[in-house]
Amino acid sequence: MASILIIDDDESIRSFLKERLVYEGFNVLTASDGKEGMNLFNNNQVDLVITDIIMPDKNGFEIIIEMKKIRPDIKIIAISGIGLGMIKACLKAAKFSGAEYAFAKPFEMSSLLTVLYKLLKEEKTYQAFNNSAL
């Protein structure tokens, strides 16, 4: 099964995503900031990255650009909960930086899983799970 790296400074989101993705059968690594995320990325073989955009130290834009320079084939999903007025521009910028998909928080977990399976070209579809919306 694929390995996924989650980078988000919000512990509750990191924890929820990890729990759900482990339930789906994925190997999951987590990082609480961009520096830790890049360290894990450089020292582990991951198939897909889910990164928050607005974080201290190293933001999601920097992470996406750095990861794509190292591994142009890495699949990245950006997520952000930035204020409503700026969310569209922020998500568009994430895609411009190299993310394959971008989601505004809160998002439907089923939508994230559908995209995740599509990017990983997994035959399986996501399993039913309580609290399917984040």
> What CA–CA distance (Å, rounded) separates 6 from 49?
6
Task: State how far the Cα of 73 lies from the Cα of 45, in Å rounded to an integer.
Answer: 12
Nearest one of 29, 2, 23 to 132, comparing CA atoms: 23
pTM score > 0.75 for this model?
Answer: yes
Q: Alpha-carbon distance 108 to 53, whole Å?
A: 18
Q: Write out pLDDT tens, residues 62-108.
A: 999 999 999 999 999 999 886 556 667 777 788 888 999 888 888 89
Looking at the chain, how many residues does it have?
134
Structural domains in the chain, sorted by start: 3-120 (3.40.50.2300)
Q: Coil, strand or helix: which one is 75?
A: strand
DSSP state at residue 28: E
